[in-house]
Structure 1
Amino acid sequence: MKQPVLPDTAHIAHSLSLFRQRAPLVHCMTNDVVQSFTANVLLALQASPAMVIDAEEAAQFSAIADALLINVGTLTRARSEAMLAAVNAANTAGTPWTLDPVAVGALHFRSAFCQQLLALKPAAVRGNASEILALAQQQGGGRGVDTQHPAEAALSAAQQLAQRCATIVVITGEVDYVTDGDRTLCVPGGSPLMTRVVGTGCALSAVVAGFASLPGDRLLHVASACRILSCAGAQAAATAAGPGSFIPAFLDALWQLNAEALA
């Protein structure tokens, strides 16, 4: 496999501009803990969030939306049925969808469900190193939502998973890695404060879903999503006194982000 390289700043700025112009409607079937924060992150980037969870309505809405996020954080049997209905409808309509395999490997039901979802061809998969390793069936999962591995430990598994499923795989950590199995990009930045508030990873998955719907090179668009959030996180951490003030600073940084800041 080729060694990871940094994404081009000019393309990141282009992806952000295109995202704001298109303002994608992102259907987020996400966990109960992060719905409000996820919606606010998408709104700060000028996208349109929606949270439709009834099975019949979710299937209908997936045909309307520009992108679909499947996040299994607070998975139930009923919710899994609604998610499958939404994914099948999205595939029929040509709507790209993204999988966030929260705590996969640590729990049996969600692990089997995520393997079922992988067969339905997500446009992108976003997880921490332990989740990606478990999804690739190479090691066990982490401690709940917490990773037990550094991001680079899952790089080979991510590349193999991306090739096998014809998808983009994102491993998040101190450095994010984004791969299609052939090309691999590394995205530095961010702040440790991003791990001290609930929902930054889940919100990133929603942003990845939106960026995966953009026309052009999907790998570069998804890497741009990672860099945009890491840049906003670093900017917010520079002014925040702690986790409480970090969240509004983070949303403001996303709103104000421009090409100069990305550089």
Structure 2
Amino acid sequence: MAGSNRQAAEVLHNAVIQAHGALQARTPLVQCITNVVSSNYMANILLAAGASPAMVDNTQEAGLFAGVADALLINLGTPTDSQVESMRLAAAAAQQAGKPWVLDPIGAGGLPWRGAIALELLQHRPTTIRGNPSEIKGLSGLGSGARGMDSSDEPESAVPAALELLRHCRTVGASGAVDHLVGHYEERPTLIRVYGGSCLQPRVTATGCALGALVAAYQAVAEPLVATVAAHASFAIAGKLAAERHAAPGSFAVAFIDELYALDEARIQQHLRIDVTSLVSPP
């Protein structure tokens, strides 16, 4: 592994600010095929961040809408047979239309049926795969620690699996106390760590699911690596600031939405903490 790249971190820092401005200016339409637990919170997160959510997940409209939307999220949290068919239709339509889409493979490493669905969806080339470390490892076949919305592994342990998954997508994000993101920077495999957030975020249902949706929103206005960093950075900053004012999950959840809404260039400049490492080989 090569040393940290300070210049690349500065470039990405500025790119995140530009992406945030572009998100506010465009208000991208994000189609979310997601689980029943996350729909309301996810929609509120997207609205607060500056995007427009559309929870279109029926088989009659999912494929058509994916060609209309600016970006697509597919979340495997509580899949039904009908919803899975909508996922297939939407992923195929997004690929055909050249629209960015994000796969959140909840439980894919620990539950065979949804694991098979996730592998099938990979054939439609998601732009980004986002999950907790055990899900990333499970999807790549390097482990079997996935436990639904929870994570039994540290994000750093998922980096080799994330690098393997770059065969199917442009970027991979493993969320945790320090988010670990992989993609290509200047044509080299690169690890970006995003610092911040709060230990309260995992105690609010659907926070991770909503992060996947925000990654999709940023994919509509920025290239994949910048978009993935920008979404994780937005969550890290909002989580840090919300936790400074609230110490319990209920009030934190509301404050977190408020902080996303209030995020601006000055707050990004002040609070964004990332480092960038070029990877010679998987660590």
The answer for the alignment partner of 2:214 in structure 1 is 207
Indicate which of 28, 38, 45 corresponds to 2:32.
Answer: 28
Give 1:82's aligned residue.
Answer: 86
Say whether residues 1:168 and 2:168 are aligned partners. no
- Structure 1 runs of 4+ aligned residues shifted over 3 Å read 1-8
Give distance in 1, aligned partners of 2:117 and 2:87.
Answer: 10
**Equivalent in the alignment of 1:193:** 200
Structure 1 residue 241 displacement after superposition: 3.5
- 2:123 maps to which residue? 119
Q: CA deviation at 1:142?
A: 2.2
Change (3 A) 1:36 1:3: farther
Matches of 2:210 and 2:171 in 1, distance apart?
A: 17
Checking the alignment, whether the CA contact within 8 Å between 1:56 and 1:85 is kept in structure 2 is: no
Which 10-residue stretch deviates more, 67-76 or 241-250?
Answer: 241-250
Which residue is 1:250 aligned to?
Answer: 256
Q: Which residue of 1 aligns with 2:242?
A: 236
Residue 95 of structure 1 and its aligned partner are, at CA, apart by 1.3
Greater mean alpha carbon deviation, residues 17-26 or residues 181-190: 181-190
Query: In structure 2, what residue type is equivalent to 1:201?
Result: G
CA distance 1:27–1:4, shift in 2 (3 Å): farther
Displacement after TM superposition at 1:144 (Å): 2.7
Provide the residue aligned with 2:72 in structure 1.
68
Separation of aligned partners in 1, 2:27 and 2:149? 30
In structure 2, give the amino acid aligned to 1:169: V
Gaps of 5+ in 1: none
* Range moving further from structure 2, 3-12 or 109-118: 3-12
Q: Secondary structure at the match of 1:180?
A: strand
Note the C-alpha offset of 1:261: 1.4
What CA distance in whole angstroms lies between the structure 2 residues aligned with 1:136 and 1:54?
29
- Please say if residues 155 and 177 of structure 1, whose CA atoms lie closer than 8 Å, have aligned partners that are also in contact: yes
Distance 1:124 1:138 in 2: 19
The answer to whether residue 55 in structure 2 is matched with residue 48 in structure 1 is no
Inter-CA distance 4–147: structure 2 relative to 1 (3 Å threshold)? farther
Aligned residue type for 2:254: P
Instruction: Check conservation: 2:170, 2:224, Cα contact below 8 A.
Output: no
Secondary structure of 1:28's aligned partner: strand
Deviation at 1:191, TM superposition (A): 0.2
1:183 match: 190
Cα shift at 1:3: 5.7
Residues 3 and 51 (structure 1), Cα distance of their counterparts in 2 relative to 1, 3 Å cut: farther
The equivalent residue for 1:146 is 150
Percent of matched pairs sharing the same residue: 40
> SS where residue 56 of structure 2 aligns?
coil
Deviation per CA, 1:72-100: give whole Å up to 9, x if none.
10011221111101111111211111000
Tell me by how many angstroms 1:128 deviates: 0.7
Deviation at 1:28, TM superposition (A): 0.3
Q: Tell me which of 225, 234, 237 is aligned to 1:219.
A: 225
Q: 1:91 to 1:2 in 2, by over 3 A?
A: farther
* Aligned length in residues: 261
Post-superposition offset of 1:9: 2.7
Q: Deviations over 1:187-237 (max 9, x none)?
A: 01100010111011000000001111224x320221011001110011111
Q: After TM superposition, give the deviation of residue 167 of structure 1 in Å.
A: 2.0
Partners of 1:2 and 1:153 lie apart in 2 by: 18
In structure 2, how many angstroms separate the alpha carbons of the residues matched to 1:130 and 1:170?
Answer: 12
Instruction: Write the letter of the residue equivalent to 1:246.
Output: F
